[in-house]
Each structure stands twice: as structure tokens, then as C-alpha cells.
Amino acid sequence: MKTVEVVAAIICEEDKIFATQRGYGEFKDGWEFPGGKIESGETPQEALKREIKEELDTEISVGQLVDIVEFDYPNFHLTMHCFFCKILKGDLVLKEHEASKWLMKYELDTVDWLPADQGLIEKLMNS
Ligand SMILES: Nc1nc2c([nH]c(=O)n2[C@H]2C[C@H](O)[C@@H](COP(=O)(O)OP(=O)(O)OP(=O)(O)O)O2)c(=O)[nH]1
């Protein structure tokens, strides 16, 4: 099975975490942490900064690695590197997503996360 290498940004501000809803494709309407596929030659941190600039027109700093999620979807294996991030500059403009929410940790389970994110959400809620 092919492996897709993805980076995801857990953007925090004060006590809240930024969640986005996918606007297109196979997982449309599912909630996720913004990010995307690592391109060849990029470090995960570089990929994450590029993706957040593209998707949200925002510059971030990439902090601690929170988790590397390994998950089998029917058609591919996902390896997802998840980092805590902070906003440096920009207003999180939704260029690809259809909605977003700032959620407190205890509210994280109030949106419908993509299947691969379930374990991570539990971990964040219990942290
Ligand atoms: N960014 C992100 N992707 C996630 C999460 N959870 C999860 O299963 N994924 C999956 C969905 C996609 O298959 C993949 C992300 O890659 P992507 O955003 O480039 O996906 P895509 O296929 O829509 O993009 P593209 O090839 O059209 O550029 O990882 C998450 O929390 N954040």
C-alpha cells in the first residue's frame, strides 16, 4: 500500500486550537488540522510553513512535535507529523477550507474529525 507523508499544524492561541473543515475531495466536510503532503526535498517544518501560507495566507512558527500518526485508510497508509504552531503574521484566511473554529481543548470532540485524527484528539483532550 502506498504511504502518504503529511504534516499538520496544531495552531494554538491563548487556550484555543484552530480546526478547519475540508472544502473539497474525498474527505469533504471532515474536520482536520490544516497542512498537507510533504514535497520531495522538504523538511516537515518547511512543508508545514509552505502549506499554511498556501491554505491560510499566514506565517507560522513550528514548535514541538506532538505526535506522528500512523493510520491505514482503505487506499493508502497515512503518516502524519503533527506540530504545535504559533501565528507569526496573518489572519488565517480560508483559501481552501469551507469553515474553521477555535476550540478549547475540552471542546475538541464537538466537530467530526477525519478518521486518522481520532487518537490524536483523544491525546490532546487528555493532555
Ligand atoms: N492536513 C491534514 N490532512 C489530514 C488530516 N487527517 C487526515 O487523515 N489527513 C489526510 C487527508 C489527505 O488524504 C491527506 C492530506 O493531504 P492533502 O491535504 O494534500 O490532501 P489532498 O489530496 O486534498 O491534496 P492535493 O493532493 O489535492 O493537493 O491527509 C489532518 O488532520 N490534516
pLDDT at 8: 98
Domain containing 104: what range?
Answer: 3-114
pLDDT at 80: 98
Q: In the chain, how many domains are there?
A: 1
Ligand 1: does its nearest atom lie under 6 Å from the Cβ of 33?
yes
Taking 50 as the pLDDT cut, the residues of the chain under it are none
Residue 125 lies in a domain: no
- State in Å: Cα 29 to ligand 1 middle: 12
- State in Å: Cα 85 to ligand 1 middle: 18
Whether the complex's predicted ipTM is more than 0.90 is answered with yes
CATH code for the domain of 65: 3.90.79.10
List the one residue out of 92, 72, 94, 73 whose CA is nearest residue 26: 73
- State in Å: Cα 15 to ligand 1 middle: 25
Residue 21 lies in a domain: yes
Q: At a CB cut-off of 8 Å and minimum separation 6, what does 42 contact?
A: 50
Ligand 1: does its nearest atom lie under 6 Å from the Cβ of 8?
yes
Residue 122 lies in a domain: no
Ligand 1: does its nearest atom lie under 6 Å from the Cβ of 56?
no
Say how many C-beta atoms besides its own lie within 10 A of residue 68's C-beta: 11
Query: In this structure, what DSSP letter does residue 113 have?
Result: B
